[in-house]
């Protein structure tokens, strides 16, 4: 690759998704997803079980072929990534498998050989802190240990794009905090872009710069985490209340009345209709917002 091609490739967004569609056996899983990831950003992907988070992550990496739409990773089509781009990506699946005949150390050595920027001291440090023994055959690792080993690999390769599917589900709280720290400092120091799907909403609230909420095949919420929190609220209204501008969800309450989630434009006031109902907007944490708009 010549110098011009290198500079063009590195100037391309880590990830660009346009109009992504995917069906499985007649069921629409992704129904027109648009997404852009900036360098150094940490995107938290949320969604209920079966919402299609893993399908989306797989499509981003070219592991699943979409029915329509386009995914570009560092400027290249996801279905035909060159080795140069593949080396800049690290993916940790929810249930890693394969290479069961190897020991943890042999597997890491294999990985080290395929990534030019492999950082052995970092791998050694994480192995020690996460209590992994290199002699252990992969087949004897518990699911949690196998996931930790995959995370060691993903952090040691110094990827420019890290894609993590439920990375913290099997980690204890201390190891989880450490993982979060490693991720945000990579994003800060190396400009690594991170996508992680997680049901641990509090973890995402710690480190995510951006949030995408996948629901019914669409990204129902997408944007900066801080802005999402400042621009969404719940209001309690009489059951007869007319639909409000920016209304996202409405739920009937026992004993009459409705709970409505509304969105406003950043920096703008809430709809004036609220005053007529004497309704006070209640600000929401990410988990409450998630539950209100997906249930």
Which residue ranges make up the site for other proteins (CB under 8 A)? 42, 177-178, 180-181, 184-185, 187-188, 201-202, 205-209, 225-226, 229-230, 278, 282-288
Question: Would you give the DSSP letter of residue 281?
Answer: P
Shortest distance in whole angstroms from residue 209 CB to other proteins: 6
When the beta carbons of 199 and 218 are compared against other proteins, the nearer one is: 199
When the beta carbons of 70 and 182 are compared against other proteins, the nearer one is: 182
Question: Would you give the DSSP letter of residue 100?
Answer: T
End-to-end CA distance of the chain: 50
Shortest distance in whole angstroms from residue 224 CB to other proteins: 9
When the beta carbons of 207 and 258 are compared against other proteins, the nearer one is: 207
Shortest distance in whole angstroms from residue 289 CB to other proteins: 9
Q: Residue 258 — φ and ψ, nearest 5°?
A: -135, 150
| CA distance to 195, 234, 243, per residue, from 35 (Å) | 11, 26, 29
From the number of C-beta atoms within 10 Å of its C-beta (0-12, 13-18, 19+), residue 199 rates as middle
Shortest distance in whole angstroms from residue 86 CB to other proteins: 27
When the beta carbons of 20 and 187 are compared against other proteins, the nearer one is: 187
What CA–CA distance (Å, rounded) separates 4 from 7? 5
Q: Taking the mean position of all CA atoms in its chain, how far away is CA 166?
A: 9
Shortest distance in whole angstroms from residue 208 CB to other proteins: 7
What CA–CA distance (Å, rounded) separates 267 from 230? 9
When the beta carbons of 71 and 195 are compared against other proteins, the nearer one is: 195
- Whether residue 180 contacts residue 207, with contact meaning beta carbons closer than 8 Å, is answered with yes
Strand order in the sheet with 15-24: 27-37, 15-24, 68-73, 76-77
Helix, strand or coil, per DSSP, at residue 57: helix
Question: Would you give the DSSP letter of residue 227?
Answer: H
When the beta carbons of 67 and 230 are compared against other proteins, the nearer one is: 230
Shortest distance in whole angstroms from residue 52 CB to other proteins: 25
When the beta carbons of 202 and 243 are compared against other proteins, the nearer one is: 202
Shortest distance in whole angstroms from residue 117 CB to other proteins: 22
Pull the structure tokens for residue 225. 């985490």
When the beta carbons of 160 and 186 are compared against other proteins, the nearer one is: 186
Shortest distance in whole angstroms from residue 206 CB to other proteins: 5
Pull the structure tokens for residue 227. 């802005």
């Amino acid at each position: 690759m010549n110098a011009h091609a290198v500079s063009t490739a590195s100037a391309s967004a880590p990830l660009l998704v346009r109009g992504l569609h995917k069906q499985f056996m007649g069921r629409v899983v992704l129904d027109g997803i648009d997404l852009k990831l900036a360098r150094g950003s940490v995107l938290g992907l949320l969604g209920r079980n079966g919402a299609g988070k893993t399908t989306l992550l797989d499509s981003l990496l070219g592991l699943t072929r979409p029915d329509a739409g386009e995914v570009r990773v560092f400027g290249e089509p996801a279905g035909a990534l060159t080795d140069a781009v593949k080396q800049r990506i690290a993916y940790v699946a929810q249930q890693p498998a394969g290479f069961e005949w190897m020991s943890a150390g042999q597997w890491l050595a294999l990985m080290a050989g395929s990534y030019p920027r492999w950082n052995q001291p970092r791998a050694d440090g994480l192995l020690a802190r996460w209590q992994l023994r290199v002699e252990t055959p992969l087949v004897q690792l518990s699911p949690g240990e196998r996931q930790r080993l995959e995370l060691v690999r993903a952090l040691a390769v110094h990827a420019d794009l890290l894609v993590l599917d439920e990375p913290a589900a099997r980690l204890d709280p201390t190891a989880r905090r450490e993982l979060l720290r490693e991720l945000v400092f990579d994003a800060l120091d190396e400009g690594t872009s991170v996508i992680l799907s997680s049901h641990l909403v509090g973890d995402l609230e710690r480190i995510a710069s951006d949030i995408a909420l996948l629901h019914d095949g669409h990204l129902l919420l997408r944007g900066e985490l801080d802005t999402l929190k400042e621009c969404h609220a719940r209001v309690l209204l009489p059951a007869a209340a007319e639909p409000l501008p920016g209304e996202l969800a409405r739920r009937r309450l026992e004993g009459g009345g409705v709970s409505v989630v509304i969105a406003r434009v950043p920096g703008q006031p809430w709809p004036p209709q609220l005053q007529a109902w004497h309704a006070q907007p209640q600000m929401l944490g990410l988990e409450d917002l998630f539950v209100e708009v997906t249930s």
